[in-house]
Amino acid sequence: MLYLHKLLPLLLSPIVVVILLAAWGTLRKRRGPVLLALLLLYLASMPMLSKQLIRLVEDGAVRQAAASQPQADAVVVLSGMLMTVAASEGVATEWSDFDRFQGGVELYQAGRAPRLIFTAGAVPWQPQAIPEGHYLKRFAERLGVPAANMAVSDLATNTEEEARAIRRLLPQASPRILLVTSAYHMPRAAQLFRQAGFDVHPYAVDFLDNVEETTPLDFLPNAYHLRLTDIAVREMIGRLYYRVRALL
């Protein structure tokens, strides 16, 4: 199930669709599919489109001040901000996104909850990597967060498993949590945690919808905005996956 969940967004991502269309047109010696592939590549790489798609999946969320958030039983920070890189001695861990960690620590330091919980995100094809939550907990200790006030969930390979793992740590009826994850991921994550029995207050971070004026450059393709389109499309596929599965 994990591989299906990961493979579906990949197979339906814009770049894979472009490659399949171009290959089909080339093999069949048809111009139409190749031209369609080029058009799709242009549209997916155009800032004007990628910004609209990111705005759509971020669902109108805005950055909130930590001190303005309600009291909760725990701050829950989802994994997805570290990467494993080659090192002189084996492998090392580096940040790919600091916002989730920073947001969680800010909420705890603002006194919004007595506990700070990290999920132990892991994937089977990176067995050498330590689960994220343990790394984050040690890092938070260096920033002055008491170890006794933190916890790390059981291993989890996706957001649904994260929700179940956190539920085992907070078994009381309808625990209120401040959920910290990327803005584009928040609607799906919040829904999965609500289904697991949580009273969820979202605290979105890692925004991709920049506040900036529209310029002629927004109609010129570039690789960064192809990546943003890919993120938005994958997120929409992920949401559709869970909706269809719930119906079935």
Domain boundaries, the chain: 2-60+220-247, 66-205
Over residues 134-152, the pLDDT tens digits come to: 999 999 999 999 999 999 9
155: β partners: 120
Mean pLDDT of 51-63: 95
Half-sphere exposure of 14 (CA within 13 A, CB side): 25
pLDDT recorded at residue 246: 82
pLDDT recorded at residue 200: 98
| pTM > 0.85 | yes
The rounded distance, in Å, linking the Cα atoms of 229 and 54 is 7
pLDDT recorded at residue 45: 97
Please choose, from the candidates 173, 161, 112, 180, the residue with its C-alpha nearest in 3D space to the C-alpha of residue 1.
161
Residue 121 binned pLDDT confidence (cut-offs 50, 70, 90) = confident
CATH class of 66-205: alpha beta
H or E element, residue 223 = helix 223-247
pLDDT recorded at residue 138: 95
Bridge pairing between strands 116-121 and 150-156: parallel
pLDDT recorded at residue 4: 57
Over residues 7-54, the pLDDT tens digits come to: 667 778 899 999 999 999 999 999 999 999 999 999 999 999 999 999
Over residues 170-198, the pLDDT tens digits come to: 999 999 999 999 999 999 999 999 999 99
Please choose, from the candidates 220, 132, 188, 210, the residue with its C-alpha nearest in 3D space to the C-alpha of residue 9.
188
pLDDT recorded at residue 163: 97
Helix, strand, coil % over all residues of the chain, rounded to 5: 50, 15, 30
